[in-house]
Amino acid sequence: MAYAISLLLDDAAAARVRWHWDLLAATKLSRSMPELGYVPHVTLAVCDEIDVAAAQAALDAVFAGRPALDIALTVVQTFGAASGVLYAALAESSELRQLQADVAAVLPGAVRPDYQPHAFTPHVTLATGLSPHSLALAQRLFEQYWGSFAGCCETAELAEFVPVRPLTRWALVPRSLNPSS
């Protein structure tokens, strides 16, 4: 079993991402994300093996009092034709980078290389498992239907996968309750 620590998108941003997932499904390009059975999210770290209780305790400290994060989904990109992954890139954010580094730091040796702070690519996945041809078609489709949009992440979650099974959820401090925002 693998584990992921993610930020969950607010309802409005999640609905927009789901609309794009549904567009990919309707055009028969990909149903990978709806079939995953998980909400739209930004993955901060993926680990193949962890001591769940120790990870939960360490993450309690990381997320305690942490303010919600405003995000902006900017452009649709890939990790290369061979990756089969289409994603929405997030606008650069020092807060997000710091949070991701803090998460990786409390899980020493467990975080996969692609999720180490120096390699982390902030994104929301739109599709996986696409052939190079389908990936190119999906990119062309999104040239017509994609528009940048903002959202907020007010919840973090530790889940095991696949199948996805949420284990622990942390509420981040809403901006309206955070005097420093």
| 114 CA to centre of own chain | 13
Is this model's pTM higher than 0.85 or not?
yes
Contacts of 96 (CB under 8 A, 6+ apart): 42, 69, 71, 90, 122
Helix (H, G, I), strand (E, B) or coil at 155: strand
Domains recognised in the chain with CATH numbers:
2-163 (3.90.1140.10)
User: What local confidence, expressed as pLDDT, does residue 7 receive?
Assistant: 98
Q: Which two tokens stand for residue 36?
A: 């995953």
User: For position 179, what pLDDT does the model report?
Assistant: 53
Residue 176 banded pLDDT, cuts 50, 70, 90: confident
| pLDDT tier for residue 118 given thresholds of 50, 70 and 90 | very high
pLDDT attached to residue 178: 55
Mean pLDDT of 57-82: 97
